[in-house]
Amino acid sequence: MENLAKNEIIKDLLPRKFNATGKLWIGVLLSLCVVGLIAYTRQLSKGLVVTSMRDYVSWGIYISNFVFFVAISLVGSLITAILRLTDVHWSTPLTRIAEIIAVSAITFAAIIIVVDMGRPDRFYNLFFHGRLQSPIIWDVIVITTYFFISILLLYFPLLPDCMLLLKNEKKLGKRPNKLYKFLGSFWRNTPAQIKINECAINILVITIIPVAFSIHTVTSWLFATTYRPGWDSTNFGAYFVSGAFLVGAGGVLMAMYAFRKSYKLEKYITELHFDKMGKIVVMLALVYLYFNINEFLVPAFKMKKPDQEHLMGLFAGDFAPLFWFAIITSMFLPVLILVFKKGRKPLPAFIAGCLVVIGSWIKRYVIVTPTLLHPFLPMRDVPPSYRHYFPSWEEWAIAMGSLAGMMLIITVFARLFPIIPIQETITEIEQHENA
Amino acid sequence: MRMLKNIILPVLVVLLVDPLLFAQNATHDLILNPGYFNNNNQVQYLKVNTKAKIDGKFKPVAGIPVSFYISADAPANLLGKAVSDRNGEAVLFIPPAAKDAWNRSSKQSFFVVSAATGLYKSTSSDLDITKSKIKIDTIAGKKIIATLQELRDSVWVPVKGADIKVAIKRLNADLNVNETPAYTTDSLGTVAADFQRDSLPGDARGNITLIAKVEDNDAYGNITAELTVPWGVPGIYASDFNRRTLFARRGLAPVWLEITSFSIFFVVWIVLLYLIVQIWKLKKLGTQAAE
């Protein structure tokens, strides 16, 4: 990468129009979003009765999805903030990928919460009549804050690139140019501007770490402050945060491979990046495994009666297939693949990333739903539908629509903006050459 | 062949199906257990417990229509009808119209009859009671005196040798006044119990309710008498409604929580506002550089 000329870098990294595969991909995502919207319209007109949620399971696939979105959004702080603060330079091509994943995920985390509400028209009450003692209000505050920080962290490093994008109007088209003008026409790359920009980015990367930890800790407290088998745990904050870093890193592995392939970025996202990210995923998977052991071994050792029902349901009961699938796919298999050098090549690393993301999504479902089906007081005189939960087609459509929506934001962003920071890459090469 | 199809087969089908139909229509025996109640000289009522042997166990039966009669099992003496609830209990308050029949004698007979249903046979039971009453009073030294009397030839006479429970009425169950749960009446029909629950919470004035009762007595049924005495500790209700707690309503969060959360919130958002100001500065610098 050191020998690349500046013009070649700009040419390689400028956003490109979609090819046939890209258009097909957009079509699939849009279709899923439309189906989700249709399902949500049905839910709005008929009420939450179209879902399979009833008196006991009042948090189903929507809240599982919410926890997943919040979790994956933490990758912004991992790649951008933690690696930048520790002076790790190899992560530069991955920062924007991580940040756009964070922004899109946190956007849909907020949306899916509104979807879960029976009366979305009352959403404003959370802001105007919120109860400060409730972790739900803490979550609303911290998600809003994290959203703004992520937007700023995406925006500030984008400013130098805006100048380069404006210079390439002919290639990129007039309409995107209007957007670039609006966002960064004032950028002149003067030393004063560069200094302010760097200072702002440094402030952001320091600010985002405690906020990112808070966002997922508070999300875990939505569960842990409730006295229920499976949620009544002091381990939940650390358990959630470690899981979030894992799924975020897995998501980055997937996105790295997809962008590398579709935009031919082999010179910029190299095998070294897969190697380094693969090692990070192994470490995070082992850390998450450690917290899982803590989370399940201690209550299983004591086996209090209400915990017993819940744990046996997970280990050997109705939820056992999902539980073990989640544990194996999100932790064991990725470690088995990525612990070997050959496993950290692009394709196996991509597969490991997919396993982490799929397993982690199911893990969130396993955290949310089984507990609700095991209340302290036995269920009596309730219809059979209250005793089980399997999402309705509307819930599936909305959940898949929201996942598609998240990927749509990332795809459209990559169509409009360089997915690898151009100016930062050039500066790093220049600094390297000067050194 | 036609004969087999048209006659023998239908006959066989009827013969096979008929026992099943009979089996479904088989009825069970029902047991009616009537009781008489007079609580603190209020309106008396009758309660019938219905039960039947189902799967080898006696279980209450819901939905049994029961007719109640006074003096004799005849339509003219009908007091009323009730249907057993999910606990197998059918309750009927003795109506004012039965006053003449009630006053006719110091002893009274009641009859209960359940109508036949699809599953249970019609059955009946009866109950004889002697009119009685309990008086409850207190004397110095926190002693409770309860007297049981029965009506005999229009005269109230003391009852000897009956069991009386003396207790304090609480929300869900009664609490004994001391370690002895029940007393037997003497020749004056009287029992005496020492009150030994000194620090018992009462109402705002410290009032508690004493109760003397005869339960499931063959002759008198179930009768109680109550007396309110200021022997409890005044219960002062301290409302947490306006106190700042984690479980309080909106606007009453603990001060430490408000200070902590608002401080964090403002520090973070001041940083964000500072960064937005930096964007404005960058714009200004860009405009200057362009000029």
Contact state of B282 with A197 under an 8 Å Cβ cutoff: yes
What pLDDT was estimated at residue A388?
92
What's A197's DSSP letter?
H
What pLDDT was estimated at residue B1?
54
Residue matched to tokens 């429970």: B165
The candidate with the shortest Cα–Cα distance to A230, out of A295, A135, A181, is: A295
- CA dist A231 and A221 (Å) reads 9
CA distance A131 to chain B (A): 5
Our CA dihedral for B64, B70, B75, B76, rounded to 10 degrees, sits at -150
Copy the structure tokens of residue A427.
């500066």
Cα R_g (chain A), whole angstroms: 23
ipTM, interface predicted TM-score of the complex:
0.89
| Sequential pLDDT tens for chain A (435 residues) | 555 678 889 989 999 889 999 999 999 999 999 999 999 999 999 999 999 999 999 999 999 999 999 999 988 777 888 888 888 889 989 999 999 999 999 999 999 999 999 889 998 888 888 899 999 999 999 999 999 999 999 999 999 999 999 988 888 888 889 999 999 899 998 999 999 999 999 999 999 999 999 999 999 999 999 999 999 999 999 999 999 999 999 999 999 999 999 999 999 999 999 999 999 999 999 999 999 999 999 999 999 988 999 999 999 999 999 999 999 999 999 999 999 999 999 999 999 999 999 999 999 999 999 999 998 888 888 998 899 999 999 999 999 999 999 999 999 999 999 999 999 999 888 887 787
CATH code: domain B31-130 is 2.60.40.1940
Q: Are A86 and A205 spatial neighbours (Cβ–Cβ below 8 Å)?
A: no
The contacts of residue B22 (CB under 8 Å, 6+ apart) are: none
Assigned fold of A6-374+383-434: Formate dehydrogenase/DMSO reductase fold (1.20.1630)
- CA dist A336 and B114 (Å) reads 74
Q: What is the 3-state secondary structure (H, E, C) of chain B?
A: CHHHHHHHHHHHHHHHHHHHHHHHHCCECCEEEEEEEEECCCCCEEEEEEEEEECCEEEECCCCEEEEEECCCCHHHEEEEEECCCCCEEEEECCHHHHHHHHCCCEEEEEEEECCCCCECCEEEEEEEECEEEEEEEECCCEEEEEEEEEECCEEEECCCCEEEEEEECCCCEEECCCCCEEECCCCCEEEEECCCCCCECCCCCCEEEEEEEEEECCCEEEEEEEEECCCECCCCCCCCCCCCCCCCCCCCCHHHHHHHHHHHHHHHHHHHHHHHHHHHHHHHHHHHHC
All residues of chain A having their beta carbon less than 8 Å from the beta carbon of residue B287 are: 186
Contact state of A133 with B274 under an 8 Å Cβ cutoff: no
Q: What are phi and psi of B225, to 5 degrees?
A: -140, 145
- CA dist B281 and A249 (Å) reads 35
Do B31-130 and B132-229 come out as alike in CATH topology? Answer: yes
In tens, the pLDDT along A374-421 reads 988 888 889 988 999 999 999 999 999 999 999 999 999 999 999 999
| Sequential pLDDT tens for chain B (291 residues) | 565 566 666 665 555 555 444 444 557 889 999 999 999 988 899 999 999 988 889 999 999 999 999 988 889 899 999 999 999 999 999 999 999 888 888 999 999 999 888 888 889 999 999 999 999 999 988 999 999 999 998 899 999 999 999 999 998 889 999 999 899 999 999 999 999 998 899 999 999 999 999 999 999 999 999 999 999 999 888 888 889 999 898 889 999 999 999 999 999 999 999 999 999 999 999 999 887
CA distance B259 to chain A (A): 11
Q: Where are the domains of chain B?
A: 31-130, 132-229
Copy the structure tokens of residue A309.
């029902």
Residue in B271, B282, B285 closest to A207 by CB? B271
Q: Sign (positive/negative) of CA torsion A83, A86, A91, A96?
A: positive
CA distance A309 to chain B (A): 29
Residue in B249, B275, B287 closest to A204 by CB? B275
The contacts of residue B155 (CB under 8 Å, 6+ apart) are: none
What pLDDT was estimated at residue B5?
62
Q: Are A211 and A146 spatial neighbours (Cβ–Cβ below 8 Å)?
A: yes
CA distance A80 to chain B (A): 17
Q: Are B81 and B66 spatial neighbours (Cβ–Cβ below 8 Å)?
A: yes
Q: Spell out which chain B residues touch chain A, with contact meaning CB-CB distance below 8 angstroms.
A: 246-250, 253-254, 257-258, 261, 265, 268-269, 271-272, 274-276, 278-279, 281-283, 285-287, 289-290
- CA dist B183 and B195 (Å) reads 14
* Strand ranges of the sheet holding B107-114, from the earlier edge strand across to the other edge: B78-83, B65-70, B107-114, B123-130
Helix (H, G, I), strand (E, B) or coil at A380: coil
CA-angle at A112, arms to A110 and A118, nearest 5°? 110
CATH code: domain B132-229 is 2.60.40
Contact state of A196 with B265 under an 8 Å Cβ cutoff: no
From residue B53, give the alpha-carbon distance in Å to each of B27, B112, B119, B126: 11, 20, 12, 20
Contact state of B250 with A186 under an 8 Å Cβ cutoff: no
Residue matched to tokens 């990046």: A273
Contact state of B282 with A193 under an 8 Å Cβ cutoff: yes
Copy the structure tokens of residue B134.
């309990």
CA-angle at B83, arms to B78 and B88, nearest 5°? 125
Contact state of B282 with A185 under an 8 Å Cβ cutoff: no
Q: Which of B240, B275, B279, B287 to mutate to test the interface with A (most CBs of A within 10 A)?
A: B275
Q: What is the 3-state secondary structure (H, E, C) of B13-42?
A: HHHHHHHHHHHHHCCECCEEEEEEEEECCC
- CA dist A283 and A167 (Å) reads 42
CA-angle at B113, arms to B112 and B115, nearest 5°? 150
**B147 forms bridges with which residues in the sheet?**
B135, B190
Contact state of B289 with A188 under an 8 Å Cβ cutoff: yes
What pLDDT was estimated at residue A1?
53
What pLDDT was estimated at residue B23?
46
Residues in chain A, total: 435
Q: Which of A133, A143, A199 to mutate to test the interface with B (most CBs of B within 10 A)?
A: A133
What pLDDT was estimated at residue B27?
75
Copy the structure tokens of residue A294.
């803590």
- CA dist B116 and B65 (Å) reads 9
What pLDDT was estimated at residue A212?
92
Counts for chain A of helices (H) and strands (E), in that order: 19, 0
- CA dist A392 and A49 (Å) reads 10
Contact state of A203 with B275 under an 8 Å Cβ cutoff: yes
In tens, the pLDDT along A330-343 reads 999 999 999 999 99
CA-angle at A263, arms to A258 and A269, nearest 5°? 70
